[in-house]
Chain A
Amino acid sequence: MSTFLLEVITPEKQFYNGDAEEIICETETGQLAVLREHAPMIASLVVGELRIKAEGAWKSAYVEGGFMETERDHVTVFSEFCEWSDEIDEAKALAEKEKALHNIKHSANIKEHREHEISLARSMARLKIKNHKYNG
């Protein structure tokens, strides 16, 4: 299978730099798969999962928003924070989810409410990725 160069970068570290066969990311309008020779595109990503297929195996990572730029044989994902699914701390994510659920009910204004919603989305995305099982 033909591959392309995938770079996943954050302000703190280079998260991934290597060949990939396919990636699936989440955008506002749904999931988006990218293969080699994809037309030049810029996509805005939502908080969610980034799946990378390299050497025949799928890996899953949590991505905190950002965007993706594709060229024919080069894809770059810019995100502020990324972690592999096996790096996710499930207990911490659960605690964050409970806290966010509690805070949403007690937020004083729209701005606070929105902030808590974001942290709820982040913790739920982490939990989903952590517990996701794939068939091959």
Chain B
Amino acid sequence: MENISELKQRLNAVTQTRQITNAMYLLATSRMKHSMQNIDYNLSYMRKLRFAIRDIVSKTKHNALSDPFIELTEGGKALFFVITSDKGLCGGYNTAVVNMAMQKMEEYPETVLYSLGLKGTELFAAQGMTPDDNWYGASQKPSLHLARQIGGQIVDLYDDCTVSEVYIVYTEYVTSTLQRPVCKRILPLLRRDFDDVDYHPQNDTRLIYEPDPEQVYNEMVPQYITGLVYDILMQSAASENAARMNAMQSATRNADEMIAKLQEKIHAARQLAITNEITEIAAATSAEGAV
């Protein structure tokens, strides 16, 4: 039988851990709710933006736009932008994203790797890979400012032909219990990317472009990319918090089980000790009586 004071010490430790995991669970829940609101709004913005781009694409003949965005050039370098968290304790959230990124990167002879999130950089380093650029301290607070920085950098790299394809690997938020890693092509934008837009043109009138189609399009695409990156950053943050929420919820549940077991053991040990004492006293009394 175990020592009572040792058991009590362990009970204390588990109770304290449970308090921490429970607090982290509550924190992750409130953060997740916060990012959900932003996601909802941004989704309606993106829907309208996609609609407008679809409108332009369908009202413009194929060769009228000699834009650099809408064609796929093969054989160039591919940029992979991998979004993970800065902190751990969120279950398999980071490993799932990194595994997916490594799998996809094998398909390309030459890749450039950008890592957002400390954990991603660590996991890549464990595989002997060094990201070409790292971004830290942003995974919990996705801002539009950051999205514009990232979007701008991506478009610049694409513009000066350093890379010919850009992918973002992130965790898509489906529900609070389901998040899945996704590899999304950001550039080049293809016409078919807009095929799924629910689009019913009311009339076939020609659009007027001010000043001209190309310039409008060149303004629109970077803005679309920024919106997309912002959406992805927020989804990642929501997924991270959901993953942490689930991890902390099960940790709290495990702690509860351990506490119950330890308490049982303590009771058993105490009862055993009392029984022993009574037996000893009884034995001593009968021994005295015998004298």
Contact = CB atoms under 8 A, between A and B. Distances in A.
A69 interface: yes
B56 A42 contact: yes
Contacts of A67: 52, 216, 219-220, 223
Interface string B52-88: 1001100000000000000000000000000000000
B208 A9 contact: no
20 contacts: A10-B45, A11-B231, A12-B38, A12-B42, A12-B144, A14-B41, A27-B211, A28-B215, A40-B205, A40-B206, A42-B52, A42-B55, A42-B208, A42-B216, A43-B216, A44-B215, A44-B219, A66-B219, A76-B52, A80-B226
Contacts of B207: 40-42
A86 to B, nearest CB: 21
A67 B147 CA distance: 19
Residue with the highest number of chain B CB atoms closer than 10 Å, among A29, A40, A44, A78: A44
Contacts of B209: 41-43
Q: Which of B55, B148, B216, B231 has the most CB of A within 10 A?
A: B216
Given A12-B41, A40-B205, A80-B148, 17 more contacts: A11-B144, A11-B226, A11-B230, A27-B210, A29-B211, A40-B207, A41-B208, A41-B209, A42-B208, A43-B209, A44-B220, A65-B223, A67-B52, A78-B220, A80-B144, A80-B226, A81-B144
Contacts of B42: 11-12
B145 to A, nearest CB: 9
Contacts of A81: 144
B181 interface: no
A101 interface: no
Contacts of A28: 210-211, 215
B216 A66 contact: no
Nearest to B234: A11
Interface of A: 7, 9-14, 27-29, 32, 39-45, 65-67, 69, 71, 76, 78, 80-81
Nearest to B210: A43
A67 B211 CA distance: 11
B226 A32 contact: no
Interface of B: 38, 41-42, 45-46, 48-49, 52, 55-56, 144, 147-148, 202-203, 205-211, 215-216, 219-220, 223, 226-227, 230-231
- Most central of A14, A69, A81 by chain B CB within 10 Å: A69
B144 A78 contact: no
A21 B254 CA distance: 62
A11 B223 CA distance: 10
B44 to A, nearest CB: 8
B210 A41 contact: yes
**B48, B210, B211 — which one has the most chain A CB atoms within 10 A of its CB?**
B210
B223 A44 contact: no
B250 to A, nearest CB: 34
A7 B45 CA distance: 11
A96 B220 CA distance: 26
B194 to A, nearest CB: 15
Contact of A76 (B48, B206, B210, B211): B48
Contacts of B216: 42-44, 67
A54 B219 CA distance: 28
Nearest to A64: B148
A3 to B, nearest CB: 20
A10 B48 CA distance: 11
A44 B210 contact: yes
